[in-house]
Every structure is written in structure tokens, then in C-alpha cells.
């Protein structure tokens, strides 16, 4: 697909207020790094070439980009000399985009994950004729601390930082998000005209507005919802954005035809997929890598990650499904069950208080309450195969590696260490012995011991 927009993502900031060894842009929102949200939005636009500017802890950020967004190009800002300098670090990409006949360039921030593709596309559409630059702003009732967008006769004339603003300018409630869209043909000329004649000795990208106007070009401001512009500087802001993202996702999921009984109590990851007419009860957490099929039911208090649940299945309540788990159509995993790396075939049931790990459970098999697959020997993991239509009695331990044949029965309370053939009955427990009258002897002995202890006090 042809590319006509260059996306430049600034991911070089220090992020010291996060108080973390992890680069700020790699802190996770809904299971995905902040930077990943921005790059995914760019990818969804289909026609963008991406350049990522790294600086602080560049090796960690670069490794993430290369692993998850291999088509993005990496550029390094050697010194922290401001946003204008950061964008110029990608001057090679800008020149290549110009030579390739691309038309627009967007400047985005790796710690501002909620910007929508629709807002960026709207900004791109405004760059035509003499318009050299569009700046995305937002209206807020609490503008203190933000740069103000000063608009006259429909054109953006300046971005005024609060410390430099007059009393009248401080009353302006249209604030700068930092996100910009340039006409590529003018971009390098404007960027190279930015100087560092300020108290901080930095190159401010905001100066591009007045420079463009000095060159006879038009600059406009576009308004987007404030929530799209929020960035992250500390853990409190990260938690705030998590709440905003979850609200957006919950709404999207319900509009798509999924029932959330208590939406505020359900938490999604960035890649969660849920089919139409699924029902999600309260207090459910979806980690990364989860797919829930149509008309499946997830009962209350479940924790699910790395799992595919097919249509018509029922999970929970109080179930934990760990990575590598696959539940086929109509499967059932009940209360207080934990599964890991387990394939549960169509119609199979694991109803109560069981651990099934590194296992296969065949079609319409029934696993009784309290069953565990003993898959770990202290050094290695081993596999358990439970055949179609088999019945595992309650409180059984299946010591892997082991095969339970199709249609086989395992007696309750068994510890099974050998394979069980198809349609066989396995009983692996001590034989019951009843001794008449012994209960009375035991009670008398215990009572005597109790009375002796009391007398000694």
C-alpha cells in the first residue's frame, strides 16, 4: 500500500517522575507500552511511514520497537535539546519522504497514547493550499500550566507558554496538545529556522507556528477531545489514563453486542477480542492474548490471560485461565479451577476445584472436583492426556506423563501413575477396612489425654 504520511514519534524523554528503571514510554497501559498504543494507531491508518526518535535508555526503547513494530525507523536524539531538536533528529526521514513525494508529516508523542486515528486524519485533511501547519488543541476549564493557542480570524498566530502569557492570554481555554501536522514541502525549512535563544537554551517546536507565518504560510488550530491529548509523567497520571482507556474499551465492547453486567468492574487488555452476544459478569480481568467467542459466558470473578474461549462455552465463577489454554465450543470450566497450557475439547467439563496444566482433555470428558494433573517433577513439565468421554473421579491426582484412555473411568481419590486403557476402570487407592467398636476406643483414649493435660495446668 502506498505511503503518503510520515509519522514522527518522539520517545526520547527522560520520564524521571515515573521513578522507575523502565523508560517512561515502555510503561504499560492495558497491557501494552504507551509507545505501542501510539504506533498501533499509526499502523491503523494504513498509509504511514513511521520514524521513532529515541534518546533516554535508547537501547530498551529501540529493542521494543524493533521487536513489535519492525517497519518503523529509529533515530537518536543525542542531547535533550528540546522538541524541535528531537524532530530534526529525523531530518533524514523527512528528506526521504519529500523525495518520495509524500505530502504530510505528523509529530506525535510516545507518552500520549489516547490520540485517535480519526483526529489525525481530520488534521491531515486541513493541510492544503497555503496551510503549512495544523496544531491539535483542546478546550479545558483548567488551563493552568498549558501553553495557549492564540487564534485570530480563524488562524493560529502563536502558541504562548503560560509563563510568557499576558493576563488576557491566560484567560484563553484553548490549549496546546503538542501534536502537529506539517505540509512536508515546508517542514525542514521551518524546523531549521527554530533557534535556541531562550532561558533553557532549547529548540522549541512551538516556535514553528510563528516561523511558518513569517514565511507567509497559514497555520490553523484544530480542537480534539481533551482526553485524547493526555500524556503520562507519573504513576498517578498513568492510572488516570488506564481508567480513560478502559471506559473507551467498555463502551466499544458493549456497542459491538456484548453484555457487561457491571461495566466498571471489567478490565480489558489492548488486544482483547469478544464475540457478539457474549455475557461478562462482574469483576472479570482479561490479560493480554484473550479471545472470547460468540455467546460465551464468563461468570463473575475470573482472571483470564493468553486464552482462547470458543463460542457457547461457560467459564467461572472464580476461574483462572493461564497462557496456552484453549477451550473448544461448549466447554465448561467451573468455580475455583485453574488451567494452564491446556486444551479442553468440545463439550468437556471441569466443574470444581481442579488444576489442569500441560494437558489435553478430550471431547465430552468429565473431570471431577479436586482433580489435579501433577505436571511438574521439580525440574521438568510433563503432559497429561485425558481421552474423549472419560470420567475422572473427584479428588484424583494424575501423575504426568500419563494417558487416560477414551471412555475410561478413574475411581475417586485415586493417585494414577500408569496409563489407563480405553474403557478401563482405574482404582489407585488403599482398600477400605472397617473395624467395629474402634471409634469408641479412640474417643476414650483422646478424652483421657485431654483430662490429663487439664489436670497438669
What are the residue numbers of the active site? 352
HSE, side-chain direction, 13 A CA sphere, residue 292: 34
Contacts of 165 (CB under 8 A, 6+ apart): 148, 172
What is the distance of C-alpha 14 from the center of its chain? 23
- Residue in this structure with the C-alpha cell 503432559, named with its chain if needed: 383
Contact between 187 and 102 (Cβ < 8 Å): no
In the chain, what is the greatest distance between 2 CA atoms, to the nearest angstrom? 107
Nearest to 390 by CA among 404, 371, 375: 404
Is 345 within 8 Å of 327 (Cβ atoms)? no
Spatial CB neighbours of 298, under 8 Å, sequence gap ≥ 6 = 278, 279, 280, 281, 284, 292, 304, 309, 315, 316
The residue ranges of DSSP E strands in 245-304, in sequence order, are: 259-260, 266-267, 273-274, 279-280, 284-286, 291-292, 297-298, 303-304
Burial label for 6, CB within 10 Å (0-12, 13-18, 19+), is: buried
DSSP SS3 for 59: helix
> Distance between CA atoms of 339 and 428, rounded to whole angstroms?
24
* Of 132, 146, 134, 123, residue with least CA distance to 226: 146
The whole-angstrom separation of Cα 339 and Cα 319 is 8
> CA 334, 336, 338 angle in degrees (round to 5)?
90
For residue 302, the 8-state DSSP code is -
Burial 42-79 (b: 16+ CB within 10 A, else e): bbeeeebbbbbbbbbbbeebbebbeeebeebebbebee
Amino acid at each position: 500500500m502506498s505511503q503518503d504520511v510520515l509519522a514522527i514519534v518522539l520517545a526520547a524523554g527522560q520520564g524521571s517522575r515515573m521513578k522507575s528503571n523502565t523508560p517512561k514510554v515502555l510503561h504499560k497501559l492495558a497491557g501494552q507500552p504507551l509507545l505501542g498504543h501510539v504506533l498501533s494507531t499509526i499502523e491503523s491508518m494504513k498509509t504511514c511511514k513511521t520514524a521513532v526518535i529515541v534518546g533516554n535508555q535508547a537501547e530498551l526503547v529501540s529493542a521494543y520497537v524493533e521487536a513489535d513494530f519492525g517497519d518503523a525507523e529509529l533515530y537518536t536524539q543525542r542531547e535533550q535539546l528540546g522538541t524541535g531538536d528531537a524532530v530534526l533528529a529525523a531530518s533524514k526521514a523527512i528528506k526521504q519522504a519529500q523525495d518520495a513525494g509524500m505530502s504530510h508529516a505528523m509529530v506525535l508523542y510516545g507518552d500520549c497514547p489516547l490520540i485517535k486515528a480519526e483526529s489525525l486524519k481530520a488534521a491531515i485533511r486541513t493541510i492544503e493550499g497555503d496551510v503549512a501547519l495544523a496544531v491539535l488543541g483542546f478546550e479545558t476549564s483548567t488551563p493552568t500550566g498549558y501553553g495557549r493557542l492564540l487564534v485570530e480570524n480563524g488562524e493560529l498566530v502563536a502558541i504562548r507558554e503560560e509563563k510568557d502569557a499576558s493576563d488576557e492570554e491566560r484567560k484563553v481555554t484553548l490549549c496546546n496538545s503538542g501534536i502537529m501536522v506539517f505540509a512536508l514541502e515546508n517542514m525542514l525549512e521551518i524546523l531549521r529556522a527554530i533557534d535556541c535563544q531562550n532561558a533553557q537554551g532549547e529548540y522549541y517546536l512551538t516556535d514553528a507556528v510563528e516561523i511558518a507565518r513569517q514565511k507567509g504560510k497559514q497555520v490553523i488550530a484544530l480542537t480534539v477531545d481533551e482526553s485524547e491529548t493526555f500524556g503520562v509523567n507519573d504513576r498517578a497520571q498513568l492510572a488516570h489514563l488506564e481508567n480513560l482507556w478502559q471506559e473507551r474499551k467498555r463502551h466499544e465492547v458493549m456497542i459491538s453486542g456484548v453484555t457487561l453486567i457491571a461495566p466498571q468492574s471489567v478490565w480489558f487488555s489492548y488486544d482483547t477480542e469478544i464475540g457478539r452476544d457474549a455475557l461478562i459478569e462482574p469483576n472479570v480481568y482479561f490479560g493480554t492474548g484473550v479471545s472470547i467467542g460468540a455467546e460465551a459466558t464468563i461468570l463473575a470473578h475470573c482472571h483470564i490471560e493468553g486464552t482462547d474461549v470458543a463460542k457457547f462455552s461457560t467459564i467461572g465463577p472464580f476461574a483462572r485461565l493461564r497462557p496456552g489454554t484453549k477451550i473448544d465450543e461448549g466447554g465448561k470450566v467451573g468455580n475455583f479451577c485453574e488451567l494452564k497450557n491446556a486444551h479442553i475439547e468440545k463439550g468437556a467439563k471441569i466443574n470444581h476445584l481442579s488444576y489442569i496444566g500441560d494437558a489435553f482433555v478430550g471431547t465430552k470428558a468429565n473431570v471431577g472436583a479436586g482433580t489435579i494433573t501433577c505436571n511438574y517433577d521439580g525440574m521438568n513439565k510433563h503432559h497429561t492426556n485425558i481421552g474423549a468421554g472419560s470420567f475422572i473421579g473427584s479428588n484424583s491426582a494424575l501423575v504426568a506423563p500419563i494417558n487416560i484412555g477414551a471412555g475410561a473411568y478413574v475411581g475417586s481419590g485415586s493417585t494414577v501413575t500408569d496409563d489407563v486403557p480405553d474403557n478401563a476402570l482405574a482404582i489407585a487407592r488403599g482398600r477400605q477396612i472397617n473395624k467395629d467398636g474402634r471409634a469408641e476406643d479412640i474417643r476414650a483414649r483422646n478424652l483421657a489425654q485431654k483430662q490429663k493435660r487439664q489436670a497438669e495446668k
